[in-house]
Every structure is written in structure tokens, then in C-alpha cells.
Amino acid sequence: MAAAVTPPREPTSVVGANPIFAQTMLRVADPAASAAFYTGVLGMSHLTSLEFPALEFSLHFYGYPPAGEAPAPPASAPQEERAAWLWARPYPTVELTHNWGTEKADSGFQGYDNGNDAATGGRGYGHLGVLVDDPVAAVAAMKAAGVKVTREASPFQDVGVLGFVADPDGYLVEIIQRAGGGAGGAASAGPPAGMVGPDPVLAQTMLRVRDPAASIAFYRRLGLTYLTALAFDDFSLHFLGAPPAPPPAATVGGNDRPARAGWLWGLRSPTVELTHNHGTEADAGFGGYHNGNSEPKGFGHLGLIVSDVAAAVEGLRGEGVRVVREASPFQDAGVIAFVADPDGYLVELIQRAGEVGAPYAKPL
């Protein structure tokens, strides 16, 4: 089994204090079908939408807002106002991008790639992950409702109970048993959310990476903290995030995999899960992973909200990071930029609209 990477003390962030891991962007063919899945199945709320008629696409944002949060400005409000509300949210969202016309039966559109099929050439992005009390019950309810189940909920080695389902475009969602959950655990408070039970947490976005040392260094410079690793015979999972408190030293570098998984599945803040298939970092013949933005398209980018996009871009450029889009206003949706990580995955940097708050964890 490969040893877990134990990075040194966290470096200074290039993007300023308390960046927000704000979004995972996925392209979808039919926004109505996707809305039914993300709200009715996963129990998320539709937060707001941004429309770009001149470019013929729309962005629809979903998430698990804290109870009692004031709603977004209405759809009739100026888009600039709705975008500013969105860029002040402290919690993660799923951004579903709809290129107009793909939903029509006669469009000839063949669908998006979910990032998990090497045969299509699209292997790269892996999945979203949601923490729930009882993944067995949740996956069973989804299956009964006609949702495609790609892995029944059951123990995965010694890191807990999990299952996988597919959304209408085939993107995978991992349903993970939260620490203390399950049939014998105490039920979370609150009403059920969709088919996943009460109090789900949007917990992770998984990307495959070739060289974990390079990828970890990149995301740490974006202000994320290295949390822990789960190492298996042929692959390792490295988790980074921005939790309210740093992980215990034994969790970061210890050898007790069940204990590290248990701590991880108890977090209430989002993580980036970097999957390293052992040997790719030294394989001269490895062709790399697909970032989802050329054919076959699917996954688009991660998004971080930062206090000064222009300064962040210059800091990253100075360290050799590839800048894909310079910091500038994007129509009436605020200032954004794009940079590429070591595997070519895009990261959108978005100008913060609210105050710099404390690192986020979903309230109990």
C-alpha cells in the first residue's frame, strides 16, 4: 500500500484570506430533467439562474443552503444583483450549464461525457459526493424511482458505506454514509431532503490527477488545506478543503485509514478529492487526463470565490500557473478569471461580493 503524503506546514495562499470553494460546473442537456434530479432526488435547492441570451446559454445553481437563509433576488431582478448575491454565498454549489437547444429531440446532440469512460477519451472528472445518514436507504429509494444505480450502497473496504448513482446526463454522484450515520446511528435533525434523508452535505468533487505532489501544491496555493489521504493498493485519494478548524495531525499523517475516513465523513464543508492512480506520475507513455472542455465535453471547472481576482491571477502567473482567461468583467455577472491546474483542469476565480467571513461548515 502506498504511504499517505504528509505535506509540510500550509503555505501562504496566493488568493487571499478564506477563499470559498464555490462551485463545480457540469454541462447538462436538459435543465428541466437535471432540476428534477438535483431537487427531487438529491434534495438541493435551486438557488438562482443566470441567463446569457447573446451567447445562448444559461447557468443554473443548486446547493444545500443553511436553514433560514434569505432567498435570492427574484428572477425579475437585474442579473447583476442576482450574481452579486450568488458570489456572497459561503457554501458550495453545483453549477449546471445549459447550452440552448441541446434539450430538443431533433437537435442531433449526442450527450455529454461523464469523465469516467476511458473508451471515449474523456476520463478525468470523477464525481460529486454527498454525505447522508443512510446510503443504503437513499440508494434503494432512488433505484425504486428509476434513478440509475451504478454501485449499490455497501461497505468499500474499511472506509465506510457508499454507493453511486447517475444523474440524467450520466454524471456520477457518490452517496456516502456520514460519520455516526446508518441504520444504527442517530438520525440527523430536520425534514427529509429529496430521497437522501435529512441534512445532506455536498462533500466532495473528485478529479483524477497524474502527479499528486504537483496537484496538492497547486491547490494549497489556492488557499485550500491538505486534510488527509486514503491510500489503497493501486490508488490513493487526497483531500483538500477549507474547514473551520485544521485537521488533527494524526488524521493528516497517520496510518489508521478507518479513523481518517471517519473524520473525513464527519466534515460539514466541501473538499476537492484528488485521485492518484499509482504510477501515472512516472509513466512517460501516459497521455494525461481530459479536462472536459474539448470533445468529449462534460465537466467544466471548479470555482473559487476570492477577494481580489486580478491580484490572484498575477500571483499565480508569477509562479508559472497557466492563465486561461485574464481577470475582467464577464457581461453583467461580475469579474472572473480562469487558470489551469497541473492536469489542465480549469479553476474559475470569481470576485467576492460579500465580506470575508470565516471558513464555512454547514450549520447543524
Listed residue (346, 215, 312) closest to 18, CA to CA: 312
Which residues are bridge partners to 340 per DSSP?
Answer: 322, 346
Which residues are bridge partners to 351 per DSSP?
Answer: 306
Secondary structure (H, E, C), 228-256:
EEEECCCEEEEEEECCCCCCCHHHHHCCC
Angular region, 171: left φ>0, alpha ψ -120 to 50, beta rest:
beta
Q: In what order do the strands lie in the sheet containing 93-99?
A: 45-52, 57-63, 93-99, 20-28, 299-306, 346-351, 335-340, 322-329
Cβ atoms of 238 and 229 within 8 Å: the answer is yes
Cβ atoms of 190 and 65 within 8 Å: the answer is no
Catalytic residue among 174, 319, 326, 348: 174
319 noted as active-site residue: no
Contacts of 144 (CB under 8 A, 6+ apart): none
Calpha distance 221→273 (Å, rounded): 16
Calpha distance 169→333 (Å, rounded): 26
Residue 90, Cβ density class (10 Å: 0-12 exposed, 13-18 middle, ≥19 buried): buried
Listed residue (286, 206, 281, 285) closest to 2, CA to CA: 281
Cβ atoms of 192 and 198 within 8 Å: the answer is yes
In the chain, the DSSP E strands lie at 20-28, 45-52, 57-63, 93-99, 125-132, 148-155, 161-166, 172-177, 201-209, 225-231, 235-241, 271-277, 299-306, 322-329, 335-340, 346-351
- Give catalytic residues, as residue numbers: 174
